[in-house]
A and B are shown apart, each in its own frame.
Chain A
Amino acid sequence: MELLGRIGFAQQTRNPFIKDHLVMTCWVCLSIVAGWRLIQEVPSLVDGAKFALEMLEKTDTCDEQLDSLTRVPKVIGTFDMAWRFLIELSVALGTEEEHELAEVQEILHNHESQISELEGIDIISKTKAFKMSMRRYSVSKIPSSDLLAE
């Protein structure tokens, strides 16, 4: 993997002016196969996905901070709500290049309930709680002999 990474860097594979297309094709194919093998052979990648899904799919938890926002339907629902609000707002603002302050204020005022909903997302504490759990997970992954050695 490291070697392929170095070749990728050396070949500047993202450079649109690269000339040797066959080298590029071979490098891409080898890299895809190497990436696939890495997923098969490095259990920590699968463990990381398992942990993330456990956090997202939790239906009951003792950790009150890790409540609904970290669950799949809620995360998707919150994202959809925020996303749709922005689309509605963009449509309301129209295509005019310039807006008067009063005009923008009126448009925003018409969407005040959605702005309040957006402000109501307690994202900071949820993110902290999620990070704390990730740290607990990272520590639990360190073999106990390593912890004893410290």
Chain B
Amino acid sequence: MTEYLPGIESDSFDEMEPVHFSQLVQLFCYPQYSFPQFIFPIRNIKRIFSLAATFRNILEGRESVDAFQETLQNLRKFAAKSKSFDNPWQNPLHRQVWRLQDLRDGGGLGFTIELFFTVLYSDKLFVPFVRSSKEGRELQSSLYVGTFRIITSDWSKYKHSLGTQQLLLDMVISVPGIISQSYRYPTSLVNEFFALLGNILEGQTGPHIDNVVRELSCNHHFTEDCRRRALVAKALGVIPPARAPYSS
């Protein structure tokens, strides 16, 4: 069913499919949202590994530069997109591990919320939403909020799931994410999200929380966008404050 959901990208589930570097470029550089929903780490290392033979052949004069053009184009697309990976929060493999931890310990709560917001982010839902009449937007907003409340109804069972906490924090801090692209979501839904985040993180501590608080605090100082500043303040209001860095 997820294959019909708009905005959801996934790695191929076909184990027999030959691997090629262009698949990695396609997977990471073109999804509308930040990253595909399902990726297979070792398969993607294999895709990068497949370039080694091309490099070696050129080095040893067994392949012409013409044959290298496609790889070169793919490398450029890859490098342009990869700038954002300097932020450790953007490493797609971390997110994949958190999804597994969330499925194991968090009943898939973080995964389902992430899926929901990814679908809402897509033009397929966003464009008709902004073009709707006021009544139409209110109706859609209430459907979204109702759905959110159902899928988060048993949050208290999973508040200790580290993978779930990480996924939700990542949705706040990543670009695009809840704060950076908040205009894509109804305000009432964003408010519900922050209320849930506050409930889940209440009484929780850890470096994963401290890092996000520091990142948001830094962001708060530099952003000039009023809406964004307000959301950062809201996030900092529900996320437990960062502990002082450990010093020996």
Q: List the interface of chain A (C-beta within 8 A of B).
A: 1, 4-5, 8-9, 13-14, 16, 18, 21-22, 24-26, 28-29, 31-36, 39-40, 45-46, 48-50, 52-53, 56, 69-70, 72, 75-76, 78-80, 82-83, 86-87, 89-91, 93, 95, 99-101, 104-105, 108-109, 111-112, 115, 118-119, 121, 123, 126-127, 130-131
Contacts and interface: CB of A to CB of B under 8 A. Distances in A.
B79 A90 contact: yes
Interface residues of B, number: 61
Nearest to A109: B59
B4 A8 contact: yes
5 contacts: A32-B147, A33-B150, A39-B112, A76-B93, A101-B61
B72 A99 contact: yes
Interface of B: 1-2, 4-6, 15, 41-42, 44-46, 48-49, 51-52, 55-56, 58-59, 61, 64-65, 68, 72, 75-76, 78-79, 82, 85, 91, 93-94, 97, 100-101, 103-104, 107-108, 111-112, 115-116, 119-120, 123-125, 128-129, 132, 136, 139-140, 143-144, 146-147, 150-151
B196 to A, nearest CB: 14
A20 B45 CA distance: 42
A123 B42 contact: yes
Interface of B is mostly: helix
Given A29-B144, A82-B49, A118-B48, 19 more contacts: A4-B1, A8-B5, A9-B4, A13-B5, A21-B129, A28-B119, A35-B115, A53-B101, A75-B41, A75-B93, A76-B91, A76-B94, A87-B78, A91-B79, A93-B72, A105-B59, A118-B49, A119-B52, A123-B42
